[in-house]
A and B are shown apart, each in its own frame.
Chain A
């Protein structure tokens, strides 16, 4: 699986993503500066990493969503390529209108950095194909603007069309919802996909949950392996 990670000024999870993918999937990962106009070769997966692109000026992800590389990102997604946005990358996807909604400041008004639990809601897309529906994973979160927001009508459409892929949950009971969302995300939404299923955005960091010796656990490995399984198996 050929992968490219976009690097914006202020990205700080780009190397983590590169390392997580290259080590768990034994594949090379291209790092692509945001001022480039196209990707080297034809990547199968493009990742917009976490961080503080442009220092979060104006709105998180707003300026990055207008970077020169975004045209190539749109073309990649339009041709069916896999596109993953993590944390600030998710904010960029919403700002670029590649995914619906907006990520607004956490209800606590604080930056929250801690392990959290998310439930796999859907496995009908390449990103969670190899996971189990209802499975609860531990990925860390680290954000100030992670409250997923959509007006009521659009939120209902998103839910009804089954595009909520991850929801914050209680690991003991497996129950999920807003009461388990550290950031106050509506309906406890932690990750969503587009209609076609080739674009996923999520606030928690699977790349920070791939090394056992670190505190994030290793559930992230399951996520990357799931992606590889769908890709190699040609399921989508």
Chain B
């Protein structure tokens, strides 16, 4: 089966995210109220062939561990779509 995996990678809590802080400040300058904890990360999408959704998720998980994310400074979330 064909799946599309979307991996959302964001800086881990406690890790200084200067980009997030700069964006948050600018949003404040624009008049946005009540916005806090802005984090800037990245999204990686991958098309993959796998037996089922669980297998696709497992592959995406391994890709995150091996390359896509650095778990010392980042957290990630995997979304699988058929």
Q: Which residues of A contact B (CB under 8 A)?
A: 58-59, 62-63, 66, 95, 101-102, 104-109, 147, 149-151, 184
Whether B72 lies near A105 (C-beta < 8 A) is no
The answer to whether B18 touches A95, judged by C-beta atoms less than 8 angstroms apart, is: no
A59 CB contacts on chain B under 8 angstroms: 70
Instruction: Kindly state the separation between the CA atoms of A95 and B18 in the bound complex, as whole angstroms.
Output: 21
Q: How many residues of B contact A (CB 8 A)?
A: 13
> Is there contact, CB below 8 Å, between B22 and A109?
yes
**CB–CB A107/B70 < 8 A:** no
Contact yes or no, A151 B72, CB < 8 A: yes
Complex interface: chain A residues within 8 A of B16 (CB): 104, 107, 147, 149, 184
- What CA separation (Å) do A95 and B72 show in the bound complex? 10
Q: Report Cα–Cα, A130/B71, bound state, in Å.
A: 37
Indicate if B73 sits at the interface (CB-CB under 8 A). Answer: yes
**A66→B65 CA distance, assembly (Å):** 13
1/0 contact string of B14-32 vs chain A (CB within 8 Å):
1110110010000000000
Contact B72 A66 (CB under 8 A): no
Residue pair A109, B19 in contact (C-beta under 8 Å):
yes
Q: Are A149 and B15 touching (Cβ within 8 A)? A: yes
User: Which of A62, A147, A151 has a CB less than 8 Å from the CB of B67?
Assistant: A62
14 A-B residue pairings within 8 Å (CB atoms): A58-B67, A58-B68, A66-B67, A101-B72, A102-B70, A102-B73, A104-B11, A105-B19, A106-B18, A107-B18, A108-B18, A147-B16, A150-B72, A151-B72
Q: Which residues between 1 and 60 of chain B lie within 8 Å of chain A, taking CB atoms? A: 11, 14-16, 18-19, 22
A102 to B69, CA, bound (A): 12
Among B14, B19, B66, B70, the most chain A Cβ lie within 10 Å of the Cβ of B70
Cα distance, A150 to B16, chains bound together (Å)? 11
What chain A residues lie within 8 Å of B73 (beta carbons)?
Answer: 102, 104, 149
Q: Name the residue of chain B whose CB is nearest to the CB of A150.
A: B72
Q: Nearest 4 pairs between A and B by C-beta?
A: A102-B73, A109-B18, A102-B72, A105-B18
- The CA-CA distance from A59 to B72 in the complex, in Å, is 13
| Closest beta carbon of chain A to B38's beta carbon, Å | 14
Please measure, in the bound complex, the distance between the C-alpha atom of A105 and the C-alpha atom of B18, giving whole angstroms. Answer: 7
A90 CB, min distance to chain B CBs, angstroms: 14
Please indicate the chain B residues that have their CB under 8 angstroms from the CB of A95 in the complex: 70
Cβ A62 vs Cβ B70 within 8 A: yes
- What are the residues of chain A within 8 A of B15 when measuring CB–CB? 104, 149
What residues of chain B lie closer than 8 Å to A109, measured between beta carbons?
A: 18-19, 22
Nearest CB to that of A106 among chain B residues?
B18
